[in-house]
Structure 1
Amino acid sequence: MFQGFKDFVMRGNVVELAVAVVIGGAFGAIVTAFVDYIVNPLIGAFVPTGDLAAWTITIPGIVTDAELGIGGIISAAINFLAIALVVYLALVLPMNKMAERRAAKLPPEVAAATPEELLVEIRDLLAAQNNSAR
């Protein structure tokens, strides 16, 4: 039982995923600080309160007024978009370019083949190899 768990944990995918989560969390903190201390104050200059996160909209009520924290929602949306943009520019775009370069180096018949076609070709080559060895 413990050997199976050890094998599972020591597999490359699990360790890489753990590293990615830790680095992603630290990187998210950097982007959040950038948004909180640079972007939000710049936008806050244009809202009535002077602070985007503290910006609220008051809705009059019968007993008490309700205050909606619209600034906090906008701040969270900006934070999300900033993190998504940085992840796209730093990870997704370079990986796509690298995959395109790799595909350009492959022969046209291999680059255009589907995974199923490649598996069928491998199967046929292995069968031919087994038949010639007999």
Structure 2
Amino acid sequence: MSEKKPSVLQGFKAFLMRGNVVDLAVAVVIGAAFTSIVNSVVKGVINPVVGALGTKSLDSYSSCLKDPCTLNADGTVRTGIQIMWGSVLGSTLNFVITAAVVYFLMVLPMSRYLARVEARRKAKEGTQGTVVVTELEVLEQIRDELIAQRGTGSGSGRG
């Protein structure tokens, strides 16, 4: 009379075995590895370019909200209120670069591939229900009709 409920462990196992959970786990691992690559590009390429124009790191760009902004020897603020807008700019650049690379190297090619697959599927479905007649077949049909007309015409006395 009592129905046997699946155990929590069995439910967890079923959850983990779903395809989308595994795909998500792979995406997180690849995303974490990719983030380190993007951070290296920003630190190794973008920051030196910014350094040629100003300071060596975007993190050093800041503004003082309440004067006087004085710093301790370790770089912490002693007096005043300092806005560290350079670190926000660096993080924004990291995000934009990551998003652009993901879009252009992963999303765009995959969407184009899926569109081609869908177009092929629709073309295949569209040709299955219709009869495709080639030019040669049309000419053969015309020839057969002309022969048939001649054959019926010759029996009527025209020669």
After TM superposition, the score normalised by the length of structure 2 is 0.61
Gap runs ≥5 in structure 1: 112-134
Q: Distance in 1 between matches of 2:89 and 2:47?
A: 9
| Residue of structure 1 in register with 2:60 after alignment | 54
Residue identity over aligned pairs, in percent, reads 40
Q: After TM superposition, give the deviation of residue 62 of structure 1 in Å.
A: 7.4
* Alignment-derived partner of residue 124 in structure 1: none
- Secondary structure of the residue that 1:65 maps to in structure 2? strand
Indicate the SS of the match to 1:45.
Answer: helix
Alignment size in residue pairs: 110
Equivalent of residue 42 in structure 1, options 30, 46, 49? 49
Of 75, 79, 83 in structure 2, the residue corresponding to residue 68 of structure 1 is: 83
Q: Alignment partner for residue 15 of structure 2, among 8, 30, 51? A: 8
The normalised TM-score by structure 1 is 0.71
- 1:59 Cα deviation from its structure 2 partner: 3.3
1:44 partner letter? G
Q: Distance in 2 between matches of 1:105 and 1:76?
A: 42
Q: Which amino acid aligns with 1:104?
A: A
Amino acid of the structure 1 residue aligned with 2:25 = A
Q: How far has the Cα of 1:60 moved from its partner?
A: 4.0
SS in 2 for 1:59: strand
Contact 1:45 1:51 in 2 (8 A): no
**Which of the two has higher C-alpha Rg?**
2
Root-mean-square deviation (CA), in Å? 2.4
1:127 alignment partner in structure 2: none
Change (3 A) 1:34 1:57: same
Which protein has the bigger strand share?
2
Does the 8 A contact of 1:58 with 1:66 survive in 2?
Answer: yes
Query: More helix by proportion, 1 or 2?
Result: 1
* Structure 2: unaligned runs, 5 residues or longer: 1-6, 70-78, 127-159
**8 A contact 1:54–1:69 mirrored in 2:** yes
Question: Whole-Å Cα distance in 2 between the matches of residues 23 and 70 of structure 1?
Answer: 29
Would you say 1:19 and 2:22 are equivalent positions?
no
1:93 aligns to what? 108
